[in-house]
Amino acid sequence: MVETDVAGPTVQVELPPMLLRDIDVFIIMPVPKVYVMNGVILAFKNQWGCIPEVKRLRYHPDFQYVVLAINKLLRPKLAIFDGTYFLNRTGPMDGDPVPLNLLIVSNDLGAGDLVFCEMMRIDPNRIGHLRLARRESMMPRSLSQVEFNTDPLQFNKQRFVLKRTLMNWIALGAFRSKVATWLLYQSKFAKPVHDLLYLIRGRPKDVNPQW
């Protein structure tokens, strides 16, 4: 367990020791996606997967603080955005692939996230962890503070829009609730509750958590 301050409070998070001790340069490769839980997946959100699987679920209610804590602790030096395909509507598991065939590199994660928000026509002030990143001076206030070798906004004319389904709204309520998070992922009821959900909506083929 490691800790750092984010907007005042001290945030504790469990991360693999290898990432904290044995990495010389941390380079990430996010795929831009609309995300049903917090609006968008870009560079900052990419590191959420560094928390060991299942254990990361307990951090859902404090997502915006924890995801920035991870980035402060791991300090990625370079983000290579794989924009071969973007994902629109209901990412990350479903949605509409949008082929743009882009590869954009940024040596500042906050600047990269701002650029992609502008490209996707998403207001970063409506994304909790990006709004908090600005408060922490981890993200520029405007594109005028970002240096480019070419204008990235020329490469996309499509507006990306989040469209949550009923099940997405239910999941979002659980995502934000400490009680629901405990019930669904940490209590003895976790397995039967998920078995019931899988009966209703089907079991994901590529996900097999051990509750």
Q: pLDDT by residue (tens digit) across 79-100?
A: 999 999 999 999 998 899 999 9
Domain extent listing, the chain: 2-165, 177-211
* Separation between Cα atoms, residue 118 and residue 31, nearest integer Å: 15
**174 φ/ψ angles, rounded to the nearest 5 degrees:** -70, -40
Structure token pair of residue 84: 């071969």
Evaluate whether 107 touches 168 at the Cβ level (below 8 Å).
no
Burial class (CB in 10 A: 0-12, 13-18, 19+), 154: exposed
Q: Report in angstroms the alpha-carbon separations of 64 from 79, 130, 211.
A: 19, 8, 25
9-32 average pLDDT score: 95
Q: What is the gyration radius of the CA atoms in the chain, in angstroms?
A: 18
Between 55 and 159, the higher pLDDT residue: 159
Evaluate whether 5 touches 57 at the Cβ level (below 8 Å).
no
Q: Please state at what angle helix 109-120 crosses helix 128-135, rounded to 10 degrees.
A: 140
pLDDT of residue 34 exceeding 90, the answer is yes
pLDDT digit string, tens, across residues 149-206:
999 999 988 999 999 999 899 889 989 898 988 887 778 888 888 788 778 777 766 5
